[in-house]
Amino acid sequence: MLTHRTAIGLICATLFLDALGIGILVPVFPDILARLNASPAFVHHNLGYFLSVHSLMQLLASAALGSLSDRYGRRPVLLLSLLGASCSYLMMGIAPSLFWLFFGRVVSGLTEANVTVATSYIADVSTDSERAARFGLAGAAFGVGFIAGPGIGGALSRFGVIVPSMAALLLNLLNVVLCYLLLPESLPSSSRRKVSLSQLIPFRFLHQIWQPSPLRRLFLLHFVVSLGFQVYSSVWAVYTRTRFAWSPAAIGASMSLIGVLIAFSQGYLVRILAARFGERIALFIGCTFGLAGFLGFAFATQGWMMYALLVAACPSAIIEPALRALLSRDAPSDVQGERQGTLIAIGNLATIVGAPLYTHLFALVTTGSTTSSLVGIPFVFASGCALTAILLLPGLRSLDVTQHKILAQREGDRT
Do 230 and 175 share a structural domain? no
Determine, yes or no, domain membership for 84. Answer: yes
Contact in structure between 69 and 124 (CB atoms under 8 Å) = no
Instruction: Give pLDDT tens digits for 75-98.
Output: 888 888 888 888 888 888 888 888
Determine, yes or no, domain membership for 198. Answer: no
Do 285 and 150 share a structural domain? no
Do 156 and 30 share a structural domain? yes
Q: Which residues of the chain have pLDDT under 50?
A: 369-371, 400-408, 410-411, 414-415
Rounded Cα–Cα distance for residues 359 and 366 (Å): 11
Contact in structure between 145 and 22 (CB atoms under 8 Å) = yes
Do 405 and 262 share a structural domain? yes
Do 70 and 17 share a structural domain? yes
Contact in structure between 326 and 355 (CB atoms under 8 Å) = no
Do 209 and 147 share a structural domain? no
Do 255 and 140 share a structural domain? no
- Domain, as residue range, for 112: 1-183
Do 385 and 342 share a structural domain? yes
Rounded Cα–Cα distance for residues 40 and 338 (Å): 42
Determine, yes or no, domain membership for 195. Answer: no
Note the pLDDT of residue 199. 56
Note the pLDDT of residue 408. 45
Do 271 and 167 share a structural domain? no
Determine, yes or no, domain membership for 372. Answer: yes
Q: Taking the model in full, what pTM does it have? A: 0.65
Instruction: Give pLDDT tens digits for 234-283.
Output: 777 778 877 888 776 677 677 778 878 887 888 788 888 887 888 888 88
Determine, yes or no, domain membership for 196. Answer: no
N-term to C-term CA, the chain: 33
Rounded Cα–Cα distance for residues 369 and 204 (Å): 45
Do 253 and 137 share a structural domain? no
**Of 394, 406, 389, whose CA–CA distance to 350 is shortest?**
389
- Fill in the DSSP letter of residue 366: T
Helices (H), 37-127: 40-72, 74-94, 98-111, 115-124
